Amino acid sequence: MVVCGLACWRCRWLLPLLLGLAIIMGIIALAGRGWLESESEPYVQQASLWESCTRGEEDLNWNCESLMDYGWGRAAAATYLVGFVVLVICFALAVIAFSIEILRFNFVRGIGGLLFVVAAFQIIGLVIYPVKFTEEIPLTGDNMFSWAYGFGWASTVVVIGCAFFFCCLPNWEDEVLGNIKPTYYYSSPERAPYLN
pLDDT in tens, 142-175: 788 888 989 999 999 999 999 988 887 765 555 5
Beta carbons of 122 and 159 less than 8 angstroms apart: yes
Q: How many CB atoms lie within 10 A of CB 127?
A: 12
Domain boundaries, the chain: 18-172
> What SS3 state is found at 181?
coil
> What SS3 state is found at 87?
helix
pLDDT in tens, 59-103: 778 888 888 988 989 999 999 999 999 999 999 998 888 777 666
Cα–Cα distance measured from residue 70 to residue 82, given in angstroms and rounded to the nearest whole number: 18
pLDDT in tens, 15-67: 889 999 999 999 999 998 888 887 777 777 888 888 888 887 777 788 888 88
* Alpha-carbon separation of residue 11 from 26, 39, 127, 138, 169 (angstroms): 24, 42, 35, 50, 12
Whether 106 has a pLDDT exceeding 70, the answer reads no
Q: Find how far residue 120's CA is from the centre of its chain.
A: 11
Model pTM score? 0.78
- Strand arrangement, sheet containing 45-47: 63-66, 51-54, 45-47, 36-38, 143-145
What pLDDT sits at residue 179?
55
- What's the DSSP call for residue 7? T
Q: Does domain 18-172 have CATH number 1.10.10.10?
A: no
Q: Which residues of 81-120 are buried (b: 16+ CB within 10 A; e: fewer)?
A: bbbbebbbebbebbeebbeeeebebeebbbbbebbbbbbb
